[in-house]
Structure 1
Amino acid sequence: MSNFGSLDELGRFLEWSLHGFLHNAAAGMWNEQILLSFQSPRSTYFWQLHGLIDQLATAMG
């Protein structure tokens, strides 16, 4: 977390820079178009993608 002063700063960075990109990339990679909609939580891939973020936050302390 050396580039971020807090997990909140990291969260804002992810939300405003990578979040949409990751949803688009995952939708293409897994051929799961629901990831591009507000219905994305219905996909198990959504939870896998967001789980990676949780693991990152835990690892960063």
Structure 2
Amino acid sequence: MNYKLIVVMLFLVMGALVEGKRLANLGHKLKQEAEKVGKEAGHILEGKVAQKAADVVFNAVLRKG
């Protein structure tokens, strides 16, 4: 094989490895962000459920009283 071709192929492989690493880092950051958003959504949902439960109890107390 021609040495120039080997050098070009080597640079292409190195570039692909660098790009793969960059994409892996980006994927990891996206996963972390999705987990954070999921936790926030969970807290919002917990708050809404707690509010609904408080409303039900409050309404039951009003009806009995």
The two structures share one fold, judged by TM-score above 0.5: no
Ranked by relative contact order (alpha carbons within 8 Å, sequence separation 6 or more), the top structure is 1
- Higher helix fraction (1 or 2): 2
- Structure with larger Rg: 2
TM-score, normalised relative to structure 1:
0.31
